[in-house]
Amino acid sequence: MLEHIKEVVKEAGKIMLNAQHIQSSVESKQGRANFVTKYDVEVQNFLYKELAKYFPTATFIGEEDKQHDETCGDYCFIIDPIDGTTNFIFDYKHSAISVGLMYQEEMLAGVVYNPYLEELFYAEKGKGAFLNGHSLQLTDLKLSEGIVSMGTCPYYREKADETFHLAKKLYNKCLDLRRSGSAALDICYVAAGRTVLYYEMLLSPWDYAAASLILAEAGGRISAIDKSPLTYHRGCSAIAATPSAYEEFFLL
Ligand code: LIP
């Protein structure tokens, strides 16, 4: 099951790498700085078509759907075709394809692929997390021992005060801050031991669905910022961290 998803996602990565004249295909969506390119749509259509061959009964929730249907079948894909669209538009080379598969409302598999670095993060529930075939088991570092990444909710500027208030508190506890522009990769970077914590005050399910399982299988913690479970049919905040950094976060 996971092998099929991995192969389809890697093939979709070629669409991103072969994209031409990206800035001539940009359209604005609802909210400030919220864009879509023809390549976001092309990747999503490719994923839907190819994954349906292996999962004919699956339903799909994708960032670029014209409307987001609350209902989903037993098998339900939650897809961000290009997570980090603004990075993609400016050839920043830090974006990922994110494909999560839910079964009866529980995450069953997750694949996050950065085609620029050819880094494929993936996990199947109960079977561990991997990066390009290498097992991911994070070291339980504290805030003072690592880098913290953050999301700035660019589509929701009303979140700025609380975002940067938290950033200052974390900055005083950790080695340094980073802001990458791809939530899926930010969460996978915690799983890979590159950072110790990532937070963002509001995301959509496709930003975190796949990466949430990868992090959990790597031994990390992830929830909404009020410690409630992530929601997969509507957006929520997110904090992803090593177990120690997760606990420190709530003592800030
Ligand atoms: C983006 C996230 C990013 C967040 C943006 C947006 P998109 O995903 O990866 O971390 O700050 O608000 O959600 O829209 O590029 O797929």
Which has the closest alpha carbon to 234: 77, 16, 68? 68
d(CA 188, CA 223): 14
**In which band, very low, low, confident or very high, does the pLDDT at 41 lie, cut at 50, 70 and 90?**
very high
Percent of the chain with pLDDT over 70: 100
Report the DSSP pairing between strands 236-241 and 147-150: unpaired
Average pLDDT in the 96-111 region? 97
Residue 195 has pLDDT above 90, yes or no: yes
Which atom of ligand 1 sits closest to the CA of residue 156?
A: 12
Q: Tell me what pLDDT residue 35 has.
A: 81
pLDDT for position 84: 97
Determine the straight-line distance between the first and last CA of the chain, rounded to whole angstroms: 41
- Among protein residues, the one with the nearest Cα to ligand 1's atom 10 is 183
Give the strand pairing for 119-124 and 106-114: antiparallel
160 Cβ contact list (under 8 Å, min separation 6)? 152, 153
pLDDT, tens digit, for every residue of 138-169? 999 999 999 999 999 999 999 999 999 999 99
Does 182 contact ligand 1 (Cβ within 6 A)?
yes
Cβ burial 105-132 (10 Å sphere, 16+ → b, else e):
eebbbbbbbbbbeebbbbbbeeeebbbe
Ligand 1 within 6 A of CB of 64 = no
Q: How confident is the model at residue 68 (pLDDT cuts 50, 70, 90)?
A: confident
**pLDDT at residue 225 in the model:** 98
CATH of 2-136, one of 3.90.1150.10, 3.40.50.300, 3.50.50.60, 3.30.540.10: 3.30.540.10
State pLDDT tens for residues 228-248.
999 999 999 999 999 999 999
Q: Looking at residue 30, what is its pLDDT?
A: 80
Residue ranges covered by each domain of the chain? 2-136, 143-249
4 CA from centroid of ligand 1 (Å): 26
| Nearest atom (ligand 1) to Cα of 204 | 13
Ligand 1 atom with minimal separation from the 203 CA: 13
Element (H, E) at 82: strand 75-83
Residue among 40, 207, 234 to mutate when testing ligand 1 (max atoms within 8 A of CB): 207
| Residue minimizing CA distance to atom 15 of ligand 1 | 84
Q: Does residue 71 carry a pLDDT above 80? A: no
The lowest-confidence range among 29-38, 46-55, 157-166 is 29-38
Which pLDDT score, from 0 to 100, does residue 32 have?
A: 76
Q: Could you tell me if the CB of 63 is within 6 A of ligand 1?
A: yes
Does the structure show a pLDDT above 90 at 26?
Answer: no
Residue 52 confidence (pLDDT) above 90: yes
Q: How confident is the model at residue 172 (pLDDT cuts 50, 70, 90)?
A: very high
Kindly report the average pLDDT of the chain as a whole number: 96
> What is the rounded average pLDDT of the residues 194-204?
98
Per CATH, the architecture of 143-249 is what?
A: 3-Layer(aba) Sandwich (3.40)
pLDDT at 33 over 90: no
Collect all residues with Cβ–Cβ distance below 8 Å to 137 and sequence separation of at least 6: 128, 129, 218, 219
Report how far ligand 1's centroid is from the alpha carbon of 212 (Å): 15
Closest ligand 1 atom to Cα of 80: 16
Distance CA 153, CA 110 (A): 23
Which range has the worst mean pLDDT, 23-32, 71-80, 115-124, 170-179? 23-32
The mean pLDDT value for 200-214 works out to 98
β partners of residue 176: 147
The answer to whether 2-136 and 143-249 have equal CATH topology is no
Give the relative orientation of helices 205-217 and 183-191 as an angle to the nearest 10 degrees.
Answer: 10
Pick the range with the lowest mean pLDDT from 1-5, 42-46, 63-67, 99-103: 63-67
